Amino acid sequence: MSASSGETGVGRGFDDPRWMVAERVAEAVQRRFPADVLAVAVHGPLAHGDDDGGGDSEAGLLVVTYRPGSGPRPATRRVDGVLVDLTVASAEDYLAQARVLSPLWPLTADRYVTTQALHDPTGWLRTLRDEHLGRLARARPAEFSTAARQAWYRGSAAHARAARLAEWYETDQALLMLGEARLAAATVSGLLSRTYFRDPGDAVRRTGLAGADMTEVGVVLGRQAEELAARGRAVDGTVDELLTA
């Protein structure tokens, strides 16, 4: 999914137990915090309306408040068999997050661009989407390269750690670190191509890294290092460059 393709609003599957729980949560939030809540929405699979994770995937809900510290507390809990991930943030704080181009942007952008309202009388969710897309339109190529370089460092470190653990026959730990390296490399690819993903699984699948082994991930990281160097700065530098970054 490219940075310009997300849209808000898709058809709801009212026979889906996740939708039923999401509606109940939204109603309870509005009833208990009527003066605090600006908007309530779903994001992730429910917002896309074409979830490939089946009925067992979680219901991701966002509660936007007028003021920081008001409304319900963020929480994750199973409700009637449905895992509910409840994010709570003030409108000002969430808009500020939407304006940040971080190394994790490919994994966070979807929450700002693709939502479906359960309660949004002022149209605030459109403002959220427009703020994020506006930030992307203003971003300079160097900002994406800088973020990609930071993600690359994380992936390179995880890959090196995975290789050492494999040599020490710490297989389980090596596999965990290899998973981190795959995800970081996928994130780098997303930043370099200005592409965001629905979730970590989508990221590694769409970049071809889902089943990549140690050698294959190393090759991908090596190619990414070359591209980052071609974009203006090598991944290896001097002490002076570190202190003046």
Determine how β-strand 115-119 pairs with β-strand 37-43: antiparallel
CB-facing half-sphere around the CA of 7: CA atoms within 13 A: 5
CA dist., res. 45 & res. 22, Å (int):
12
C-beta of residue 189 within 8 angstroms of C-beta of residue 195 = yes
pLDDT 10s digits, 209-238: 999 999 999 999 999 999 999 999 899 988
> Which residues, other chains included, contact 243 with Cβ-Cβ below 8 Å and sequence gap of 6+?
none
Task: Identify which of 74, 76, 93, 94 has the alpha carbon closest to the alpha carbon of residue 84.
Answer: 76
CA dist., res. 97 & res. 148, Å (int):
18
CA dist., res. 234 & res. 180, Å (int):
22
pTM, whole model, 2 decimals?
Answer: 0.90
CA dist., res. 144 & res. 51, Å (int):
29
C-beta of residue 196 within 8 angstroms of C-beta of residue 106 = yes
C-beta of residue 76 within 8 angstroms of C-beta of residue 65 = no
Q: How confident is the model at residue 50 (pLDDT cuts 50, 70, 90)?
A: low
pLDDT 10s digits, 155-167: 999 999 999 999 9
pLDDT 10s digits, 88-126: 999 999 999 999 999 999 999 999 999 999 999 999 999
